[in-house]
């Protein structure tokens, strides 16, 4: 396990009337290269957890070990570490600021010290990853549609080629088509570069479809971690956390009440379920 939260606590605004313990006794490990989804209802501590991983907050107690970096309450100089971690915050388009799309996407690689040719290459590549036409390079990001602005912001993080890519509710506010497109971009990017992805979401369908590992949070604690099938078969844990199973799981559970040979509940993609039903139809079962 290359990324390990060791008994981490995080308290906001210590010593003030606003003091609030957001995380307690967090013990969780991720493997390098895994696609991890962090799920939990609002206020459960998801964003706090990923801000610690991003090196933006320091633990109040405990240790976060990421490769050979140990992050604790007195850690200093996380600059080099932070260069390896790309963060897409909620509504990242609010952070666009450069005068052109190319400059905005190239900002991160420039800060990493890439030369002009490399910046150019990474900007073109990242635009292609997120499906932005090269014609948009010299346009102001503020003239684009909301969906395109989101893509520019995400391209800016992908262009840094992070070892850890953190996404906090990346599909929030997008329409259904925009959500599907973004999920497919993230899936392909992860498969191509093999970076560790930590994706925070309220959406069980997203988590089930993309994640190799799910971290289930409730009230500042990690209450379960495992493969999607392990998380979604434990209904009491989900209910305690105020969450539900993915839609595809609901449909399979309802179909299975009528079928003599049940369909596997390890299927999370609608297209895979449809293929399974067509296959059964052909077999006449
Ligand atoms: N700056 C802050 N100061 C004090 N308390 C905070 C601060 N930020 C978050 N909290 C509190 O810490 C707890 C965890 O917040 P966090 O933002 O990590 O939850 P979350 O799971 O990301 O929620 P959401 O799904 O709404 O984004 C919440 O009770 C929240 O109110
Ligand atoms: Mg949050």
pLDDT in tens, 241-257: 899 999 999 999 999 99
Residue 280 lies in a domain: yes
Structure tokens at 59: 């633990």
Closest residue by Cα to residue 157 from 187, 194, 123:
123
Q: What local confidence, expressed as pLDDT, does residue 284 receive? A: 74
Q: What local confidence, expressed as pLDDT, does residue 38 receive? A: 98
Q: Which of 8, 48, 198, 218 to mutate to test the pocket of ligand 1 (most atoms within 8 A of CB)?
A: 48
CA 168 to centroid of ligand 2, rounded, Å: 7
Residue 199 lies in a domain: no
CA 45 to centroid of ligand 1, rounded, Å: 6
Residue 270 lies in a domain: yes
Residue 268 lies in a domain: yes
Shortest-distance Cα residue to atom 17 of ligand 1: 47
Q: What local confidence, expressed as pLDDT, does residue 285 receive? A: 64
Residue 273 lies in a domain: yes
Q: Which of 22, 171, 242 to mutate to test the pocket of ligand 1 (most atoms within 8 A of CB)?
A: 22
SS3 sequence, 17-77? CCCEEEEEEEEEEECCCCEEEEECCCCCCHHHHHHHHCCCCCCCEEEEEECCEEECCCCCC
Shortest-distance Cα residue to atom 26 of ligand 1: 42
Nearby residues of 10 by Cβ (< 8 Å), 6 or more positions away: 21, 22, 23, 45, 48, 52, 57, 59, 60
CA 14 to centroid of ligand 1, rounded, Å: 14
Q: What local confidence, expressed as pLDDT, does residue 1 receive? A: 57
Residue 13 lies in a domain: no
| Pairwise CA distance, residues 262 & 260, whole Å | 6
Residue with tokens 């897409």: 88
Residue 253 lies in a domain: yes
Shortest-distance Cα residue to atom 27 of ligand 1: 42
Residues with CB under 6 A from ligand 1: 12-13, 18, 20, 22, 40, 42-48
Shortest-distance Cα residue to atom 18 of ligand 1: 45
In this structure, what DSSP letter does residue 252 have? H
Containing domain of residue 264, as a range? Answer: 246-285
Look at the chain and report how many structural domains it folds into: 1
Shortest-distance Cα residue to atom 2 of ligand 1: 12
Structure tokens at 232: 């979604």
Cα torsion angle, 218, 197, 77, 75, sign: positive
Q: What CA dihedral angle connects 222, 226, 229 and 235, to 10 degrees?
A: -30
* CA 49 to ligand 1: nearest atom: 18
Q: What local confidence, expressed as pLDDT, does residue 77 receive? A: 86
Residue 260 lies in a domain: yes
CA 216 to centroid of ligand 2, rounded, Å: 14
Shortest-distance Cα residue to atom 29 of ligand 1: 43
CA 88 to centroid of ligand 2, rounded, Å: 12
Q: What local confidence, expressed as pLDDT, does residue 240 receive? A: 87
Q: Taking the chain (285 residues) in consecutive chunks of 10 residues, what is each chunk's mean pLDDT?
A: 93 95 96 96 96 97 96 93 94 92 96 96 96 96 93 96 96 92 94 96 93 96 95 89 92 92 91 92 78
Q: Strand pairing of 164-168 and 196-201?
A: parallel
């Amino acid at each position: 396990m290359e990324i390990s939260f060791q008994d981490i606590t995080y308290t906001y605004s210590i010593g003030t009337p606003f003091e609030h313990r957001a995380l307690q006794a967090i013990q969780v490990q991720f493997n390098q290269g895994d696609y991890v989804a962090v799920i939990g209802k609002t206020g459960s501590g998801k964003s706090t957890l990923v801000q610690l991983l991003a090196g933006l907050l320091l633990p109040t107690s405990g240790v976060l070990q990421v490769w050979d970096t140990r992050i604790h309450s007195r850690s200093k100089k996380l600059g080099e570490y932070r260069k390896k971690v790309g963060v897409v915050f909620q509504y990242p388009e609010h952070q666009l600021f450069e005068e052109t799309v190319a400059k905005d996407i190239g900002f991160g690689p420039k800060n990493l010290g890439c030369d002009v040719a490399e910046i150019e290459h990474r900007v073109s590549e990242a635009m292609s990853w997120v499906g932005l036409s090269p014609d948009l390079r010299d346009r102001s990001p503020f003239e684009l549609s909301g969906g395109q602005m989101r893509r520019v912001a995400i391209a800016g993080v992908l262009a840094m080629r992070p070892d850890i890519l953190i996404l906090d509710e990346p599909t929030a506010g997008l329409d259904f088509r925009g959500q599907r497109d973004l999920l497919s971009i993230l899936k392909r990017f992860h498969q191509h570069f093999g970076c560790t992805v930590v994706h925070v979401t309220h959406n069980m369908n997203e988590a089930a479809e993309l994640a190799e590992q799910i971290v289930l949070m409730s009230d500042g604690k990690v209450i379960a971690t495992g493969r999607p099938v392990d998380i979604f078969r434990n209904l009491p844990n989900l209910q305690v956390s105020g969450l539900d199973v993915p839609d595809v799981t609901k449909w399979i559970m309802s179909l299975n009440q009528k079928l003599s040979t049940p369909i596997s509940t390890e299927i999370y993609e609608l297209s895979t379920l449809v293929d399974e039903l067509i296959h059964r139809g052909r077999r006449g079962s």
